[in-house]
C-alpha cells in the first residue's frame, strides 16, 4: 500500500554511512560531561552550522513539556526561522523543573552562543533523560565551553547519534542524496528513542541536516508535513514524551535556487528526500523499542478518510493485547479486530479483511480457514506485516510499532531507581 503521497524512490539515492556532520556546512562535537554515570558514554553534543541556517522544528503537544521545548520554540520565533547551533544533553530531561529549569535551558543557549560568537536566539536546546531532576549546570557549562573550543579549533566530529542516546540499544541514523535543479543535495538525520514513544508531533529527539537551500517558511512546512506521515506514525508504548523535538537545519550550500514556497518540483524533490530519511528513522525507533523482539509495520486502508484510518491504526498499534500476541507468535486476529472496533474510527466489519504475514485471517465479518501453526511460524520473523482493509474508502494510514515483552517491563521498572 502506498503512503498518502507516493514517494518516488528512484529520485532519491541512499548515502551509506552518511552523517549530519558530513553535510556541507555542518560540524559536530561530543563529550562526557558527567550527566551519565559511565565516563565512556557521551552525554553532551553540539551541532553547528558555519553560518546561519534556515531552521524548522516540531515539538511535543504534551501539556507537561520540558524547559528546552519552551526555549527552542521561543528561539525559532525570535530568529524568524534561523539557527547556528543545537546543543543537546542526554541523561537529564530538564522537565518538571520549574523556573530553574527554564533558566538552565536559557543558560545552555547563552553559553553556547558565547562560545560560538552568535546570539542566544540562534541556539536551539534539547534535553533527554530522567524527568524532575535539576541539571548540574557546573558540569554542563564546562562541557559546553569545551565543545565550543573543540568545534572552533579542531572542527571535531564526534559520534553525535550515540551522544543523544538514553535507553536506546543502538544509534539511529539515515542519509540520502537527491538532485534538485541539477544540483546534488544531501540530507542526513540522527534520532533517539526507545521508550515513551507515541509522538503527537515528531520523535523523541530528532535532528536532520541538509545542504539544500530553503526559505524558513518552506522548511517549516515540509518538516511538519513529513513528520505527520513518519514520526507521528510510530508508537512503542502509547506514551507521549515531555521532550519530543524534531529539528531540521538547512545550510543552503547546495548550488540550486532557493526553495521559497511549499510547492513546485524542487520542493517535491526535497520532500521526497526528507521523507525517506525520516521514515527510516521512525522505523528504527520502533525496531529498537525497549525489549522488542518484533518490528511491526501496520497498514490500514479503505477507511472513510485518513483521520479514521489513523484512529484505527493507532488503536491496533498501541494495543497491549495485540502486542503481546505478536510477542508470543500468536495469530490472534480477534485482538486486532477488537482494537480496531474500539478505536472510534468508522467501518463495517462485514466489509473488512485482515492479513498477517501474507496470510488472510479474517474476511467479511468471519475468520477464514487458515493453518494456525503455519502463521505462527511466520510470526517468528523479526519483521511482521499486518494489513487491515476496512472497506473501499480513500482513507489510509501506516504505523510502525513493536511487540510487548518482559524486557519492556524490566527496562522501565528499573529506569528511575
Cite the active site residues. 203
The 10 Å Cβ neighbour count of residue 170 is: 12
Find the distance separating the first CA and the last CA of the chain, reported in whole Å: 44
What's the per-residue H, E or C state across 359-413? Answer: EEEEECCEECCCCHHHHHHHCCCCEEEEEEECCCCCEEEEEEEECCCHHHHHHHH
Instruction: Reduce the secondary structure of 220-275 to three states and give it as a string.
Output: HHHHHHHHHHCHHHECCCCCCCCCCEEEEEECCCCCCCCECCCCCHHHHHHHHHHH
Task: List 172's β-bridge partners, or say none.
Answer: 191
Measure the CA–CA gap between 244 and 205, rounded to whole angstroms: 6
CA proximity to 72, closest of 130, 127, 23, 19: 127
CB 405 within 8 A of CB 357: no
Q: Which residue's C-alpha cell is 526561522?
A: 81
Q: How many Å apart are CA 417 and CA 128, to the nearest integer?
A: 17
Amino acid at each position: 500500500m502506498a503512503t498518502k503521497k507516493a514517494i518516488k524512490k528512484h529520485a532519491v539515492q541512499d548515502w551509506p554511512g552518511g552523517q549530519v556532520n558530513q553535510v556541507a556546512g555542518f560540524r559536530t562535537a561530543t563529550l562526557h560531561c558527567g550527566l551519565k554515570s559511565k565516563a565512556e558514554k557521551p552525554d553532551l553534543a553540539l551541532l553547528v552550522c558555519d553560518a546561519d541556517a534556515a531552521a524548522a522544528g516540531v515539538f511535543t503537544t504534551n501539556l507537561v513539556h520540558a524547559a528546552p521545548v519552551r526555549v527552542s520554540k521561543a528561539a525559532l520565533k525570535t530568529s524568524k526561522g534561523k539557527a547556528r547551533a543545537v546543543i543537546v544533553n542526554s541523561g537529564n530531561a530538564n522537565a518538571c523543573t520549574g523556573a530553574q529549569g527554564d533558566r538552565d535551558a536559557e543558560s545552555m543557549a547563552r553559553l553556547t552562543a558565547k562560545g560560538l560568537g552568535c546570539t542566544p536566539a540562534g541556539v536551539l536546546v534539547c534535553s533527554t533523560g530522567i524527568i524532575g531532576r535539576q541539571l548540574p549546570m557546573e558540569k554542563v557549562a564546562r562541557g559546553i565551553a569545551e565543545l565550543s573550543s573543540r568545534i572552533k579549533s579542531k572542527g571535531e566530529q564526534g559520534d553525535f547519534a550515540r551522544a543523544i542516546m538514553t535507553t536506546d540499544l543502538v544509534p539511529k541514523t539515515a542519509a540520502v542524496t537527491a538532485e534538485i535543479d541539477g544540483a546534488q543535495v544531501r540530507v542526513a538525520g540522527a534520532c533517539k528513542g526507545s521508550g515513551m514513544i507515541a509522538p503527537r508531533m515528531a520523535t523523541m529527539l530528532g535532528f536532520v541536516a541538509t545542504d539544500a537551500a530553503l526559505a524558513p517558511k518552506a522548511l517549516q512546512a515540509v518538516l511538519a508535513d513529513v513528520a505527520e506521515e513518519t514520526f507521528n506514525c510510530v508508537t512503542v508504548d502509547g506514551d507521549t514524551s515531555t521532550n519530543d523535538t524534531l529539528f531540521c537545519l538547512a545550510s543552503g550550500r547546495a548550488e540550486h535556487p532557493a526553495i521559497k514556497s511549499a510547492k513546485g518540483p524542487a520542493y517535491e524533490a526535497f520532500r521526497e528526500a526528507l521523507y525517506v530519511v525520516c521514515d527510516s528513522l521512525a522505523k528504527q525507533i520502533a525496531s529498537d523499542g525497549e525489549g522488542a523482539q518484533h518490528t511491526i509495520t501496520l497498514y490500514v486502508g479503505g477507511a472513510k478518510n485518513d483521520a479514521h484510518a489513523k484512529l484505527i491504526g493507532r488503536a491496533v498499534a498501541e494495543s497491549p493485547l495485540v502486542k503481546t500476541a505478536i510477542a508470543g507468535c500468536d495469530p490472534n486476529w480477534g485482538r486486532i479486530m477488537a482494537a480496531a472496533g474500539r478505536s472510534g474510527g468508522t467501518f463495517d466489519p462485514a466489509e473488512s479483511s485482515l492479513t498477517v504475514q501474507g496470510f488472510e485471517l479474517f474476511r467479511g465479518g468471519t475468520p477464514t480457514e487458515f493453518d494456525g501453526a503455519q502463521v505462527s511460524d511466520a510470526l517468528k520473523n523479526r519483521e511482521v506485516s499486518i494489513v487491515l482493509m476496512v472497506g473501499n474508502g480513500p482513507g489510509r494510514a501506516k504505523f510502525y510499532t513493536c511487540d510487548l515483552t518482559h524486557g519492556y517491563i524490566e527496562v522501565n521498572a528499573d529506569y528511575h531507581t
